[in-house]
Amino acid sequence: MSESTPTAPVARTTRPVSESLLNEKWDRCLSSMLIRSGLGLSFGIVFSVLLFKRRAWPATVGLGFGAGRAWEECDSSFKHAAAPSKDGLRVLRP
């Protein structure tokens, strides 16, 4: 008789490729949201101080524009996962 040793299942130390791709997309989306919102807020504060006599609405509008731009970029990256990246260029379709 041949001796066979039972093999124990090997624990997976790395994540599946699809999960790590999804994690990278979420990381990119969150960092883009923070950066773009911060830039919009800072431009809004500068314009508020220089042009609008320190009103609050330019800072709020800048924050909204930055967050909205990041949201749309993130949404398109999740929707068009299989399509190649166009690096922010708009593609006109007939």
Spell out the per-residue pLDDT of the chain, length 94, in tens.
556 666 766 566 676 777 888 888 889 999 999 999 999 999 999 999 998 888 888 899 999 999 999 999 988 888 876 555 566 677 677 7
C-alpha to C-alpha distance for 57 and 53, rounded to whole angstroms: 11
C-alpha to C-alpha distance for 32 and 39, rounded to whole angstroms: 10
Query: Taking phi first (over 0 means left), then psi (-120 to 50 degrees means alpha), and beta for anything else, what does residue 29 get?
Result: alpha
Q: Are 41 and 58 in contact (CB under 8 A)?
A: no
Q: Are 67 and 40 in contact (CB under 8 A)?
A: yes
Residue 71, helix vs strand vs coil: helix
Domain spans of the chain?
19-81
Read off the pTM: 0.62
